[in-house]
């Protein structure tokens, strides 16, 4: 969607791997599917924000070649705790709609 909505804003998806199992799934499933797609996936191992809150992996969505953050997310243990099932996974995310609207507005440069 970002590639279609704001291609000139150079959207990027950043991932911080917090768990070896997630790293394996990224390598064998996610990265091959994304390939050289229009929104590149960047590793961000130095990210500190959200560690201890997110489990497995944290995500960040940026525009302007990584300079402006418009979204964040990651895996949480909320549903696992609620259901008493350690295998349960929950991926949450959000996008700042006001920032997205600003970069997507016709005639505006991000």
Per-residue pLDDT at 106 exceeds 80: no
Q: How far, in Å, CA of 106 to CA of 30, rounded?
A: 32
Looking at residue 36, its pLDDT comes to: 86
Q: Looking at residue 39, what is its pLDDT? A: 87
Record the pTM.
0.84
Is pLDDT at 79 greater than 90 in this prediction?
Answer: yes
Are 9 and 110 in contact by the 8 Å Cβ rule? The answer is: yes
Helix (H) or strand (E) holding 16: strand 12-17
* Residue 108 binned pLDDT confidence (cut-offs 50, 70, 90): low
pLDDT tens-digit series, residues 46-76 = 999 999 999 999 999 999 888 899 999 999 9
pLDDT over 90 for what percent of the chain?
58
CA–CA dist 20, 32 (Å, integer): 18
With bands split at pLDDT 50, 70 and 90, how would you rate the model's confidence at 109? low
Q: Provide the pairing of β-strand 41-43 with 57-63.
A: unpaired
Which residues fall within 8 angstroms of residue 76, CB to CB, at 6 or more apart?
Answer: 53, 54, 55, 90, 91, 92
């Amino acid at each position: 969607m970002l590639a279609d909505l704001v291609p000139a804003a150079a959207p990027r998806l950043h991932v911080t791997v917090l768990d070896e199992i997630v790293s394996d799934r990224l390598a064998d499933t996610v990265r091959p599917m994304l390939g050289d797609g229009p929104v590149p996936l960047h590793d961000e191992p130095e990210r500190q924000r959200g560690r201890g809150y997110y489990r497995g992996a944290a995500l960040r969505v940026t525009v302007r070649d990584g300079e402006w953050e418009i979204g964040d997310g990651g895996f949480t243990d909320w549903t696992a705790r609620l259901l008493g099932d350690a295998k349960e996974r929950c991926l949450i995310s959000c996008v700042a709609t006001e920032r997205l609207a600003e970069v997507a507005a016709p005639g505006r440069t991000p």
